[in-house]
Amino acid sequence: MSVIRLLVLGAVRQHGRAHGYQVRNDLEYWGAHEWSNAKPGSIYHALKQMAKQGLLHAHETAPSTAGGPPRTEYEITEQGTEEYFRLLRESLTSYDQKPDVLSAGLGLMVDLDRAEALALLEQRMRAIGEWRRSVTEYYTPEDGPGRLGHIGEIMDFWVRSADFGAEWTRGLIERIRAGAYTFAGEGEPFVGVLAEGEENPYATGERHPGDAH
């Protein structure tokens, strides 16, 4: 499950036709550089790779109007659209502890219709529950917890994280069920990408304290 691929496919799809730098800006607008590994190198690599695999179609265009090297524009193919929705559905249902996947799914969930988003999130709840059950069973030594010593803290941390994830998901489900946000097929969609030339209110390279360096 590559978060970059999901994000890049989502960005290209919303634009219809986009070049690398636009995608890069969208991801920054979404804050993706903060919670995922969305860096220039990864983005351009993903575009090229997915073009090679037929998920995107590359158009070589004339050198840009505003300086810089000639740029390549990409369009999503039918195969790419299928892959996009596959990744998006997976990001919302699977519980894999790495929060970047879920974040990407949240940013793009409105490309689904409301009913499906709800169904996927319900499925997520079940997945978390099953994960929790299997892990607590599996890692509890016969002579009770505590037997693991400080290693047990790791498990405690996972399990409580899973509980937190479930609780948060439940809240999200309620908000969506109560009518929050605009999903596919519900009129004017939320504008999630930057138009050509629009400035990004959140774009700075600023670091936050506590960031790992």
Partner DNA sequence: CCCTCGCTAGTCAAAGTTGACTACCAGGTC
Partner DNA sequence: GACCTGGTAGTCAACTTTGACTAGCGAGGG
CB 43 within 8 A of CB 27: yes
Those residues with Cβ within 8 angstroms of residue 35's Cβ, 6 or more apart along the chain or in another chain: 99, 100, 103
CB 80 within 8 A of CB 56: yes
CB 12 within 8 A of CB 193: no
Q: Does 115 bind a second copy (CB under 8 A)?
A: no
Least distance from a second copy to the Cβ atom of residue 95, Å? 4
Cα end-to-end span (Å), the chain: 25
Q: Does 212 bind a second copy (CB under 8 A)?
A: yes
CB 20 within 8 A of CB 53: no
Least distance from DNA to the Cβ atom of residue 78, Å? 20
Helical axes 114-138 vs 78-93, angle rounded to 10°: 50
Near DNA in 11-70, by CB under 7 A:
19-22, 37, 39-42, 44-46, 48-49, 63-70
Least distance from DNA to the Cβ atom of residue 167, Å? 28
Count CB atoms within 10 A of the CB of residue 168: 11
| # chain residues binding DNA, by CB under 7 A | 28
Near a second copy in 157-186, by CB under 8 A:
157-158, 160-161, 164, 168, 172, 175, 180-182
Please state, in angstroms and rounded to a whole number, the distance separating the CA atoms of residues 188 and 190.
7
Give the residues lining the site for DNA (CB under 7 A): 2-5, 19-22, 37, 39-42, 44-46, 48-49, 63-72
Give the residues lining the site for a second copy (CB under 8 A): 1, 30-31, 34-35, 90, 94-103, 106-107, 109-110, 127-128, 130-131, 134-135, 138-139, 141, 149-151, 153-155, 157-158, 160-161, 164, 168, 172, 175, 180-182, 190, 192, 201-202, 206, 208-213
